A and B are shown apart, each in its own frame.
Chain A
Amino acid sequence: MHPPGSGPTASPGPAAVPPAGAELLRWQWQEVQVPCLVAAWILVASLAKIVFHLSRKVTSVVPESCLLILLGLGLGGIVLAVAKKPKYQLEPNMFFLFLLPPIVLDSGYFMPSRLFFDNIGAILTYAVVGTLWNSFTTGTALWGLHQAGLMDPGVEAGLMDFLLFGSLISAVDPVAVLAVFEEVHVNETLFIIVFGESLLNDAVTVVLYKVFNSFVELGPAHIHATDYVKGVASFFLVSLGGTAVGLLFAFLLALITRFTKRVRIIEPLFVFLLAYVAYLAAEMVSLSAILAVTFCGICCKKYVEANISQKSRTTVKYTMKTLASSSETIIFMFLGMSAVDTSKWAWDTALVLGTLFFILLFRAVGVVLQTYVLNRFRLIPLDRIDQVVMSYGGLRGAVAFALVILLDEAKVKAKDYFVATTIVVVFFTVIVQGLTIKPLVTWLKVKRSDHHKPTLNEELHEHAFDHILAAVEDIVGHHGYHYWRDKWEQFDKKYLSQLLMRKSAYKLRDEIWDVYYKLNIRDAISFVDQGGHVLSAAKLALPSMPSRTSMSESSVTNLLRESGSGACLDLQVIDTVRSRRDKEDAAMHHVLRGSLYKPRRRYKASYSRHFISPDKQERQDKEIFRQNMKRRLETFKSTKHNVCSSKSKARLKEKGRKKKNISLPSDAPNGRTHRNVPWQEAAPVLVTVSSDEEESDSSETEREDDEGIVFVARATDEVLQGKTTPGSLDVCPSPCIIPPSPTLAEKELPWKGDQADLAVYVSSETTKIVPVDMQKAWNQSISSLESIASPPGIETGAQHRRFARPMLEKQPQSASQATPEQVSRFQFPSHISKSSRSKSDSSPEGAEQQELQPLMGTEEQGRGLPPAEHRRLAFSRASHI
């Protein structure tokens, strides 16, 4: 290693000709030392992880945290042997400022908040009462041991010292708990209680630690009664203050992400920055930083996730997981390495064994006592097995170690003993308990969690269920948990969400919708994995090929069955069938090629989601999903998705005129990309425009940059001329037979037309497949849809007419009488809008949308027809102006 000075001494030489060799390269170890070491250690830890996971057997038995600690021990030994002195220890500062925050943020942000708040009572009890109990009993018991003379006389410690030690050793550690419990997969309730406790007990630990630390410094003689009061007060201050800081930053964070529309790329940064600042801010005023970050994470998630784009969401998720995981890795590794530093050690068998015994004993006793009390209030009691796991799952970890290192040797004389004991305790809990908890859980037959993705139905039912429970609580007259949750949700919906969520996000946000969306994506991906065969079989309907619904059936038998009557096990037959199969594949290939990459126009009427990603692959997935959905819909014998939501842009236009005096048709092409849009994507347009708060950029509608606003437009006159699309087939539900209609739409795009006034963009679907044996309810809904529908509905109207009620039937005709010119002038003049708005006051919710989108009335079917008629009245009135 060259001294860094060697370079500069040579450089003052003649500048023109550098001396050979000496200046070409320079050894600058000193300058890069710190970051280089950091990087090297992270690399070592990460590589170690890879090695551990090479063998599945090892990791399934031994938790990763154990392996890392052992690795750390080994590395520490090597370092000690090479450098002759212990280096690279876990520094408390490094731990609290850099390693801990990512883990806490990760656990807070991804905390299943519903579960957390459902069990908040139990969690708080265990965190507060449990930790207090543990530290006092452990401290006192150890002091008792000391008084009894069982300990080495070298342990100079009074009651306060032991209480201090008890406070730091008794707190369950979030890092260790998470590391072990994530691999154990106990049921959710159990997990959330143990884990929540480990997070929330930080406040108690911090307070106890600080209070006792100051008591030790003061000396027992100088402690007054007011100091105890102060201690209690500081508990509330630290915990509530920490929570408040967290909430404050969560609020800020949510608010900031609301405005990151144009700087998508740094969206994820805000999440990390603000959470970290929250941590530091809390730390700065010595509040509970862990609480701050935890609550910041829990509370901001809902709004942040709604605001940021899909990609940012993924980025946040992965970055957070990466950071947390590497922090955890480093913590455990350094924990191991720190243990080899024998200079800090001072062994006392009685203290070590006593501590181990007491923390286990008092943890168990505390859990049993608290559970006994809690079970009187809990409706789902925690049974004995849960209690065993909870007692045994009280792992201690790096927090305790960092705290004990932070002790001041001058004041806490027995620090070395405490350090040694803490290391042993941490190692024991992480390694021994970590190793045995899995077999224990299996042996006790603890209810495991079943990890299944939520289905749409489940989500729906649970949603309804919450309301039912809240309602029953109302009826019983008891203001219980459901009542308050309900109240909170109403408050959130009314104020918080409106304030913290981007307009477009707020309008579209809904849990059910989210699940629906996620399921769609999943479905699409799994469909791609299947290879698209399902589609081919059901859709192609090649004459030579009987339709198969599933390709999972064994191919040979299936093919034999397909090949017709008479099972013939001749090889040749199979061969021919194979060739047929090939043909099918080829045909499918063509279909896929034809439909996947430029599919938008053809399949306008199908499931979609609130954004379109420019990503080709993604779009493809969605498209495949759509087709898949359609196929399933058909087997389901329902009509395909009827998207007839006609959209009036009248208001948009009005606004545009008022503000900029630009008519819509002229700015539409510039402002947006025109792709075919399914109806949901239209929602933000409609909504944003109608909102008055959106200032100057009213014409430039708010949209996600990965969300396209596109219109499915059909020329109204084309329809009025009575052209029916050939796609309305009863016989063959194959979409590939449906002739592509994009030309229709493109030819006569309203904004491309001459009439600058044209304000009605009718998005519609071109085809409707109406199975003859449709259900009655279905028929009615569709027929009403048709009849309420603006002109394009007519094309298939004939088919439904037999189901349609007479009074509904009139409508399309009257609409059809409107000439294209009339329709083109069709916009809501302000007074009409007003009148219809006032009319729809009776059903205030969504009234505007109903007014703007007459076709949405389908859902009204179940409630009776009058509202639909109202709307139609307004509609036809407008059209005759």
Chain B
Amino acid sequence: MGSAQSVPPEMRALAERTGFTSEQIEQLHRRFKQLNHNRKTIRKEDFDTIPDLEFNPIRARIVHAFFDKRNLRKAPAGLAEEINFEDFLTIMSYFRPIEMDMDEERLESFRKEKLKFLFHMYDADYDGIITLQEYKNVLDELMSGNPHLEKESLRAIAEGAMLEAASACMARTGPDEVYEGITFEDFLKVWKGIDIETKMHVRFLTMEAIAHCY
């Protein structure tokens, strides 16, 4: 296992930036190299080689999120061609679990980070608003696993959800006002009922994985 003494400085920098432990970084690095066949960067096609991902209905969207410059904290819009390991870690850090010693403030920002990531997944055109069409597209992908659900139901659900968001977020809408879509503030409101910070996490380092690798 990576002991504390042998940690190279760049690794430590990475660890500080992303909040991962050096073991986790090593672990992820191994996986990273496995995915991109020992190249420096990872491209979209590399994700196609993951067999388990194949059946995921929103896989394209998820893979997309890895290359989203907003998520990479590089630019307000656009899509990266390829990402290096650091970017990979940045994306992965969205999925870190909360820590015991987090105070309220950090928890809140942690939560916002995670939600931002999700928001970007919905907001495909970088305009900061999830429009009905965008929402519907996500839904369409989500439900593609169920071929029996009619498209019309999707429409209805999307519209219902949008209406719900609209009514939750705009208390005082004039009749002429247009609800353009879900902004990030609204998105936060919508997610209020879900403890995202306790749910959005993946176990990055497990005993099993260690045993497997050493």
Contact = CB atoms under 8 A, between A and B. Distances in A.
Interface string A432-468: 0000000000000000001010111110111111011
Contacts of A632: 163, 166-167
A510 B118 contact: no
A643 to B, nearest CB: 7
Contacts of B7: none
A474 B133 contact: no
B121 interface: yes
Given A458-B194, A460-B161, A472 B95 contact: yes
B190 A862 contact: no
A506 B163 contact: no
Nearest to B201: A379
B160 A519 contact: yes
Interface string B135-172: 01111101111111111111111011111111110000
A465 B198 contact: no
Given A467-B62, A475-B35, A636-B179, A513 B97 contact: no
B152 A508 contact: no
A856 B56 contact: no
A637 B133 contact: no
Contacts of B160: 456, 516, 519-520, 607, 629
Given A467-B58, A467-B142, A858 B151 contact: yes
B147 A845 contact: yes
Interface in A463-488: 463-465, 467-483, 486
A519 B59 CA distance: 29
B42 to A, nearest CB: 10
B191 interface: yes
A853 B194 contact: no
Most A CB atoms within 10 A — which of B144, B175, B208?
B175
A468 B62 contact: yes
A697 B133 CA distance: 40
Nearest to B62: A471
Contacts of B159: 633, 638, 641
Given A467-B142, A645-B150, A856-B151, A472 B156 contact: no
Contacts of A483: 52
Contacts of B177: 635, 637
Contacts of B203: 379, 478, 480-481
Contact size class for A?
35 or more
Nearest to B162: A636
A461 B194 contact: yes
Most B CB atoms within 10 A — which of A452, A477, A519, A632?
A477
A477 to B, nearest CB: 5
A512 B190 contact: no
A687 interface: yes
Interface of A is mostly: helix
Interface of B is mostly: helix
Nearest to A538: B175
Contacts of A458: 190-191, 193-194
Interface string B13-30: 000000000000000100
B1 interface: no
Contact of B62 (A472, A845, A853): A472
Contacts of B139: 460, 512
A458 B56 CA distance: 20
A538 B136 CA distance: 27
A490 interface: yes
Contacts of A479: 208
Nearest to A516: B157
B74 interface: no
Contact of B137 (A607, A849, A862): A862
A30 to B, nearest CB: 59
Interface string A644-664: 010000000000000000000
Contact of A607 (B66, B156, B190): B156
A629 B156 CA distance: 11
Nearest to B173: A635
Contacts of A144: none
A513 B56 contact: no
Interface stretch (A200-208, A742-750, A773-781): A773-781
Contact size class for B?
35 or more
A549 interface: yes
B131 interface: yes
B209 A478 contact: yes
Contact of A470 (B56, B143, B150, B166): B56
B140 to A, nearest CB: 5
A243 B190 CA distance: 39
A875 to B, nearest CB: 16
A465 B198 CA distance: 13
Contact of B56 (A474, A636, A863): A474
Given A516-B157, A632-B163, A472 B151 contact: no
B13 to A, nearest CB: 21
B98 A469 contact: no
Contacts of A675: none
B118 A636 contact: no
Interface string B177-211: 11110000000001101100011111110101100
A861 interface: yes
B56 A467 contact: yes
Contacts of B47: 475
B77 interface: no
Contacts of B131: 775, 777
Contacts of A468: 58, 62, 118, 121
Nearest to B58: A467
Given A380-B98, A507-B148, A469 B200 contact: yes
5 contacts: A506-B148, A547-B175, A683-B150, A775-B178, A780-B133
Q: Which 9 A-B pairs have the closest CB atoms?
A: A507-B148, A777-B133, A856-B151, A845-B147, A862-B137, A474-B52, A379-B97, A846-B147, A471-B62
Given A775-B178, A858-B151, A859-B155, 13 more contacts: A380-B97, A455-B164, A455-B168, A456-B157, A458-B191, A463-B142, A464-B138, A472-B62, A477-B35, A486-B52, A777-B133, A844-B147, A859-B136
Interface of B: 28, 31, 34-35, 47, 50, 52-53, 55-59, 62, 66, 92, 95, 97-98, 100, 118, 121, 131-134, 136-140, 142-157, 159-168, 173-175, 177-180, 190-191, 193-194, 198-204, 206, 208-209
